[in-house]
Amino acid sequence: MKLQEVLTDYIHYLESVRGLSTHSIRAYQSDLNRFEGFVVDRESEWTQLRPADVRAFVGSLHRDNLSGSSINRALSAVKGLYHYAVQFEITGVDPFEHIKSSSSGRKLPQVLSGTEVDKLLAMPDDSFNGSRDRALLELLYSTGCRVAEISAMDISDVQRGKKSIRVLGKGNKERYVYVGRPAQAALSYYLDMRGQYIARNSLDETGALFINLKGTRLTARGMALIINKYMQRSGISKKVSPHTFRHSFATHLLDQGADIRMVQEMLGHSSVSTTQIYTHVGLEKLKKVYREAHPHGKR
Q: Where are the alpha helices (DSSP H) in 159-276?
A: 181-200, 220-234, 242-255, 260-267, 272-275
Residue 296 appears among annotated catalytic residues: no
Decide if 170 is catalytic: yes
**Whole-Å CA distances, 150 to 59, 61, 266:** 39, 35, 14
Verify whether residue 230 is a known catalytic residue. no
178 in active site: no
* Buried/exposed code over 126-155 (b: 16+ C-beta within 10 A; e: otherwise): eebeebbbbbbbbbbbbbbbbbbbbbbbee
Q: Which of 73, 134, 146, 247 is catalytic?
A: 146
Question: Residue 29, exposed/middle/buried by CB under 10 A (0-12, 13-18, 19+)?
Answer: middle
CA-CA distance, 123 to 66, in Å (whole number)? 38
Check if 278 is active-site: yes
Question: Cβ(272)–Cβ(260) under 8 Å?
Answer: yes
Is 189 part of the annotated catalytic residue set?
no
Question: HSE (CB half, 13 Å, CA atoms) of 4?
Answer: 2
Active-site residue, selected from the candidate residues 119, 217, 243, 285 = 243
Q: Which of 170, 175, 217, 285 is catalytic?
A: 170
Which one is catalytic: 82, 84, 190, 278?
278
Rounding to the nearest 10 degrees, give the CA dihedral for residues 213, 216, 221, 225: 10
Alpha helix segments (H runs only) across 108-174: 114-121, 128-143, 147-151
- Which residues are annotated as catalytic? 146, 170, 243, 246, 269, 278
